Structure 1
Amino acid sequence: MKLFPVYHLLILLSLITTSTTALIYSKEGCKDTCGKVKIPYPFGIGANCSINQWYVVDCNSSKPYLSALALKHLEVLRVNLENQTITVNAPSSIYNCQHQNRRQISSIDLGRSPFFYSYSDNKLVLKGCGNALIMDHGGVVAGCSTSCTNYSSVSERNNCFGIYCCQSTISNDLQSYSINLTGLERQGGEGACGSAFLVDKRSYDEGTFSGQSTGVDNPYVPISLLWTLTHSDKNKLSCCDQGGGLTNYTVDLFNGTSVNYWRCYKDIIYEGNPYLPFGCNRIVCASCNNLFSCDYKRNNNGDAVNFTCVDDTYKFESKSWQSQMGVILGVSISMGLLFLIAIIYALYKVIKKTKAKRRRKRFFKRNGGLLLKQQEEAEPSLVDKTILFTSRELEKATDYFNENRILGRGGQGTVYKGMLVDGRIVAVKKSKVVDESQLEQFINEVVILSQVNHRNVVKLLGCCLETDVPLLVSEFISNGTLYDRIHNETDEFPISWNTRLQIATEVAGAVAYLHSATSIPIYHRDIKTTNILLDDKHRAKVSDFGTSRFVSMDQTHLTTLVKGTFGYLDPEYFQSSQFTEKSDVYSFGVVLVELLTGEKPISLTRFGENRSLAAHFMLAMEEGRVMSIFDATVIKEGTRDELLAVANLAMRCLNFSGKNRPTMKEVAVELESIRMQHVPSEVQTNFEQVMYREELQLSTYGESTSSTFMSVDNIN
């Protein structure tokens, strides 16, 4: 019995001895405090007391100063060994721009020093009306802005959410920065941008920064610097031998570079200075018996520990009947929970199914289902012509609209490649976010394609209106667009002249069909090479009817907002806003010129009116040098007469006056005639003497239009 109080007495004595052991913070023979600030190693008061010259601290009038940096009046406020930071009073990055709308403040450049502005211990604060950005070599590190609806309501330090005050953290450690400060006008028209500064979080949040309210009371701001030790410093360190040692860390800078440094690391609870061999004491919670655990918290300097004992055990006694009741109760609760989960799951499935059904109906209505029904009621021939796919079918077909399935992106949406359950390869067009105008275009395309049946027009297979955006399903055309085939400079096998004639004839026939052979005439309104698809046999397929329009039999034109593509846009339509079938003829004329010359409709190398391919071609025709702008493949494989015949046809299509242009039916007939006369197997040689000047008789295309043709630069 006498051993019990003796045991407690020994524990008490060990605690007293441990708590009263003097901790070492500086090198032997060196002071460890200046005034009220503790200066631990690797810093030192005096040249021989620090690890190197950068860590020398001067103690003047009981105030410590970090003297090695460019400005020698950096007062040291705190050194934190655990965070490896030193907090100093830096020259203020605060500027009250009450009379200046813009101001840039630069920081101290730490470029050659082992110090960095710590991203985890500092933050940007803006007080007043304006915007503040922290910049590092042109890059934005952090920023925030304020509004001043009520200038007199100054925000509190811990309630800084954008009205007259804002805060932001920085993303990386820095060695220099600048603050761009822009002022805003507050109510009454007075300018008052206030102030902006980078400040130590702890000093600002605890209220120890005296200049935080206005930024002008104190010319200095407390800023925390991360201090680092180089590989040469490593040999001067003798870390505490009680668990731990030297560890390598990395500083990631904003410019993408990184710096490696060393620090003493402990894997035990300790207090004191780990950078000295006998500078730290291991904390043992001797007063906490086996029923408690030790909880600790470090002080602001990270070198001392306050610990408490926390009860983390739970004891209870149980009897046999209590165990049996526990088992019975546990089984009952488990069965009840399983039954409840089953009911909840069943209800969840029912509710989910009901919500999905309602959502599909809502999407169907929003995506134009009612509009489609109205169109079918107005045109009985459209009934049952449109197949409605389910969203699940198309999700499976496109692998849930995988990015790898994208065939192209257009003005009205994105096209995906898909495979239906029956093995058919299709193209699924997913429209963009629906608004009223886009909805009308989408339904319009569905209605038009539903009644079109032509071998050279993309066939509509169906649509889906029960998803968040409408989907259009059409046949898949395997060989890309005519634009890609003409303008692909890396193509080893350019399109032959015979194939170009075939494509031009097929497209002309398809557009003539739309103009005159359908029950209601259709104006395409966007004929261009990107809307002409090619299959594996180079058969042409006209696509993209999103901007097309029906025209009554007694109508001669449509008056609409000008829509189209630069380079293909009819100048007469641009001036009058009246779209006629001859506007499609003009666009087709540009396609013909592309096939002849292999050039793009808008050139980035030509200037003025000649940027337009149509204007460039017409000028070459008028000057008699059109053969010089033809594509090499065309010249090699075509005869002079048939090339000039196609060129004259293109000139007639590009006539500024729509009434002087041929109809698409006439164009198709003439192209078919030229194609029938072409002998593709012959290699023509009679062009070797025909180079840059020719006398051409241009009587077939009517009056000259060069003086009235618009430059694409003038089209907005």
Structure 2
Amino acid sequence: MQVFLQLGLCIVLLAAQYVPGTAVPGSSQCRRQCGNVEIPYPFGIDPGCSLGEGFDLTCEVQGGVQKPMLRSDFEVLNISLTEGTARVLNYILGFCYNNSTGSMEYFGRYGGYNGGDSSSPYRLSDVQNRFTVIGCNALGSISDPDGTGYQGYGVATCRNQSDLMDGSCSGIGCSQTTIPKRMYYYETTFFHSVNTSQIFKFNRCSYGVLMEAAAFKFSTTYIDTNKFNDTYDGRVPMILDWAVRDVKSCDAAKLNKTGTYACLSSNSKCVDSTNDQGYMCNCTNGYEGNPYLPDGCKDVNECSHNPCPSDGLCRNNVGGYRCSCRVGKKYVKENNTCSPDTGLIIGITMGLFGLMVIVMITIFWGQMILQKRKLNRVKQEYFRQHGGLLLFDRMKSEKGLAFNVFSEAELIHATDNFDSSRILGKGGHGTVYKGITKTNMPVAIKRCGVVDERQKKEFGQEMLILSQINHKNVVKLLGCCLEVEVPILVYECVPNGTLFELIHGKNQALQISFSTLLRIAHEAAEGLSFLHSYASPPIIHGDVKTSNILLDDNYMAKVSDFGASILAPSDKEQFVTMVQGTCGYLDPEYMQTCQLTDKSDVYSFGVILLEILTGQLPLKLEGPEKQRSLSLIFLSAMKENNLDAVLVSYVKGQESMELLRGLADLAKICLDMCGDNRPSMKEVADELNRLRKLTTHPWVRLDVETDAESLLGGESTGGYQIELSGYPMGESEDQPINPRSSYYAR
């Protein structure tokens, strides 16, 4: 009996909390629908069905349709419990010029809203509402004189209809103004002194209203009589923030002994109002429903939308959910995945199949080791094929040898994995990349093309020879990588382009003087002469051309690209090789015999001299067949004694014709069809040195009648004679310059 009495007392007390009137809020006596609008508690449309008088609404029939009304004036469109807002229809205030009376008059409902006093649940939303003024000469104001004391203005002007823009409400035809918090009342007025018809014939009305900003988009058609008012049928949406206002905050509500705490559900939480004092109620996480009713917050079945992984299982529980995974996997909450349960798998596997797991792991690691060893053997085989062992032996015996054997990993790091942005150039023998070594030294790294078996066998020997070449006019080979299928070479970096670019290409605009070009040619000849005469054994370049003559910071020539180079053969069998090189520079005798000799380099160098003299490319792909080869054009001009026709104009303007003819004679003898008749590179270098000295001394006179029969085998087309009025630098009276000491006078 005592239990029943206590239960009855609880029911009475609970009902006393809910019922200001006669009905329990959650009972069937309370209607919760008016037309198409749901009326949730704490609101009510029947007596005693709301939390208090401020939450009372009426359900009226207008035009045959039921509509919920606030204060019998404002139609309620919807109510949000979670956001604490009510969306209502507010009235547009119009202000128009009356042609009949000649004065400005209001039309429509008088603009404003009266929410009662500070105890009212409602506040005008400062976040979602804007005071909107539309017109072409409109000045409207919004004020709250009895509450916050706020007064704001909206100004909308426009000179021409063309100034208006759809969607723009920045002052031209349309203006929007924010309002402060805590407003429960406002009124709107227009200034009568502004007469829209006096200036603008296309617009005689202005409009003002406080409305939901998100529901409005300005249209230029609104600048027309009643267009804005007609579009919205005189009313626009407005947002009211509502809350329980009898206390200042949640903390005060929970401590209030005399008032009624509105958050009745056991799974509800109190949230302070953001617009003036008061609080709202929300369901806690994992629950949804009406927090203002006992047991109004119901558990959410999160599993209905499957928040767990696709291969997992969701189990709903009160206030939340739990994810689980099938056997062998575990749920990882951080990234919401089912990951293999390594501990369980290992435990079961070791318990049941321990031996099998050990065997499998052993096989796996054994395969890894075998693959690694196989890769190392391949690298070692490449290293052996390319003569790496020979290189190491020599490097040990010659401790002063400045040569490095790089690993593939070092060169990959130096070139950003041979990135295309690092490419300096491409040729028939490989691609050259710019690299930075681990000591921060810039280098040129060349990935060679395919090499044959003979070259593989001799590669290490050739690297040793090339590494020992130390001449200022030959690019220094710093090292190589031999543990790859095709060797990679590492040269010093020569940054200033090539002689080809200086004559024909991107550096042509530098307008280098002819004397500089002559110096570069002489330096290149010195480099080739060193390879032919002083290297042991001698080296034949095999691809002499302007693009293989690099220029350093001071435009000093450096012979490069030994991709086609061979060591001077020790027997005739080694003479035979595949025809390689560059068209336009190839020795005709080599093309016929496939025998590469030092005189093949001389022929190619003769073509370089022609490029300097004529400024033309060695080979043209267009035009008559006889006009495609620069060598044939030049030799034909020399035969007809018409050298002037092929010389480039700026060369003729810089140097005497006699000097140019002397250089042309040198080129002609270099281009002799018979290699035996050509000079050696040392003789070519000496002759270029002599020609350079002739250009530097004003007391040298050129004599065209100099005998050169020993060179040309007949009459000379030109020559040089020196009259001594002094001695050139480096000579003495006992050793005067002898013009016939050159190749021309041998």
TM-score (norm 2): 0.45
Query: Which of the two has higher C-alpha Rg?
Result: 2
Scaled by the length of structure 1, what TM-score is found? Answer: 0.46
Q: Which has the higher contact order (CA 8 A, sep 6+)?
A: 1
